[in-house]
């Protein structure tokens, strides 16, 4: 069977619900993972998603800030939320799909929203950067993020780091900019390797091809300047690595009216 899984930092799901609906009708993902929903669970537009075919939802939202959700056409077996850095700031949710979804072998999906880290890349003077470093270290050390080699698992989301040279428009000019400093790139890559995860976007499109999923709101002519970053990622466990038939970065959604600054990334799996 074919399974489409999308990750998208939507930057307010209520403001952009019509844009999400448009994307759903065009791409028809089976599982839609959103970040920065900025929506408490009791205010989440569940009815709208039900009408769009997503009867199943795992919510981890809060008022005004952060928030992650998994919406699915297929029922899941269970979901859980992990807290990082001793905070309850809604940056992770996990769903496990199995027999109810018609899967013989279970499939675990971790949806993450890693802290952005503020402007100054120095943990001594910027507590937001210190939080980001601690969060990445916890991801590295987290036992539940280390699937067995034979286990089917996906870790995706807005990881807020562009780890490779060609994940940014200018490696040299970005070296001191939060999201591409050497310590962040190293910590994200170390966390990925520690869990045995495969960077499926880069398997599909190796360097030196540029890959971006985010373009700043501060650039009025974002498309011409094209100074993007690859902040959103889809990692798979080793056994799923060669089951990714396609990766689509829907860049056109950055050009929508009232866009998110992130665009959807969709992996098509052959299970």
Partner DNA sequence: ATGGTCGGCAACCGA
What is the secondary structure of 207-271 as a DSSP string?
A: TTS---SB--TT-TTHHHH---B--EEEEE-GGGGGGEEEEEE-GGGGGSSS--SB--EEEEEE-
Sheet holding 244-249, edge to edge: 56-60, 68-72, 31-35, 2-9, 265-270, 244-249
Q: CB of 213: closest distance to DNA in angstroms?
A: 13
Q: CB of 21: closest distance to DNA in angstroms?
A: 16
Answer for which of 14, 22, 28, 78 binds DNA (CB under 7 A) is: 14
Does residue 89 sit in helix, strand or coil? coil
Residue 216 interacting with DNA (CB under 7 A): yes
- Within 8 A by CB and 6+ apart from 127, the residues are 118
Cα end-to-end span (Å), the chain: 5
Answer for which of 44, 52, 56, 66 binds DNA (CB under 7 A) is: 66
Residue 213 interacting with DNA (CB under 7 A): no
Q: CB of 132: closest distance to DNA in angstroms?
A: 8
Q: CB of 229: closest distance to DNA in angstroms?
A: 11
Between 116 and 134, whose beta carbon lies closer to DNA?
A: 116
Between 217 and 245, whose beta carbon lies closer to DNA?
A: 217
Residue 64 interacting with DNA (CB under 7 A): yes
User: 3-state SS of the chain: helix, strand, coil percent to 5?
Assistant: 30, 25, 45
Answer for which of 6, 7, 11, 200 binds DNA (CB under 7 A) is: 11
Nearest Cα to Cα of residue 9 among 236, 166, 229: 229
Q: Where are the alpha helices (DSSP H) in 118-181?
A: 127-141, 171-174
Residue 157 interacting with DNA (CB under 7 A): no
Residue 170 interacting with DNA (CB under 7 A): no
What is the Cα–Cα distance from 154 to 69, expressed in whole angstroms?
15
Number of shown-chain residues binding DNA (CB under 7 A): 21
- The verdict on whether omega for the bond into residue 208 sits within 30 degrees of 0, i.e. cis, is yes
Q: CB of 82: closest distance to DNA in angstroms?
A: 17
Residue 218 interacting with DNA (CB under 7 A): yes
**Residues 26-45: x/- map of binding to DNA (CB under 7 A)?**
----------x-x-------
Q: CB of 114: closest distance to DNA in angstroms?
A: 9
Q: Is 51 exposed, middle or buried (0-12, 13-18, 19+ CB in 10 A)?
A: exposed
**Residues 109-148: x/- map of binding to DNA (CB under 7 A)?**
------xxxx---------x--------------------
Task: Return residues touching DNA (CB under 7 A).
Answer: 11-12, 14-15, 36, 38, 63-66, 115-118, 128, 160, 216-218, 220, 258
């Amino acid at each position: 069977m074919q399974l489409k899984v999308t990750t998208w930092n939507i930057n307010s799901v209520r403001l952009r619900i019509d844009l999400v609906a448009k994307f759903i009708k065009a791409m028809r993902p089976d599982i839609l993972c959103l970040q920065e929903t900025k929506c408490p669970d009791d205010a989440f537009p569940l009815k709208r998603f039900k009408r769009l075919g997503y009867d199943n939802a795992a919510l981890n939202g809060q008022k005004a800030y952060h928030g992650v959700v998994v919406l699915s056409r297929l029922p899941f077996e269970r979901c859980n939320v992990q807290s990082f850095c001793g905070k309850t700031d809604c940056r992770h949710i996990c769903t496990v799909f199995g027999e109810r979804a018609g899967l013989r072998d279970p499939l675990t999906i971790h949806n993450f929203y890693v802290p952005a880290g503020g402007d100054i890349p120095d943990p001594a003077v910027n507590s937001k950067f210190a939080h980001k470093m601690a969060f990445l270290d916890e991801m590295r050390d987290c036992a539940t993020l280390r699937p067995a080699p034979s286990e089917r698992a996906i870790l995706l989301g807005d990881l807020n780091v562009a780890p490779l040279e060609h994940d940014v428009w200018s490696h040299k000019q970005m070296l001191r900019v939060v999201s591409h400093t050497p310590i962040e790139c190293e910590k994200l890559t170390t966390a990925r390797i520690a869990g045995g995860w495969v960077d499926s976007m880069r398997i599909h499109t190796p360097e030196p091809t540029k890959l971006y999923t985010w373009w700043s709101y501060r650039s009025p002519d974002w498309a011409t300047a094209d100074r993007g970053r690859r902040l959103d990622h889809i990692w798979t466990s080793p056994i799923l690595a060669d089951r990714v038939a396609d990766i689509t970065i829907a860049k056109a959604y950055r050009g929508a009216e009232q866009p998110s600054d992130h665009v959807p990334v969709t992996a098509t799996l052959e299970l």
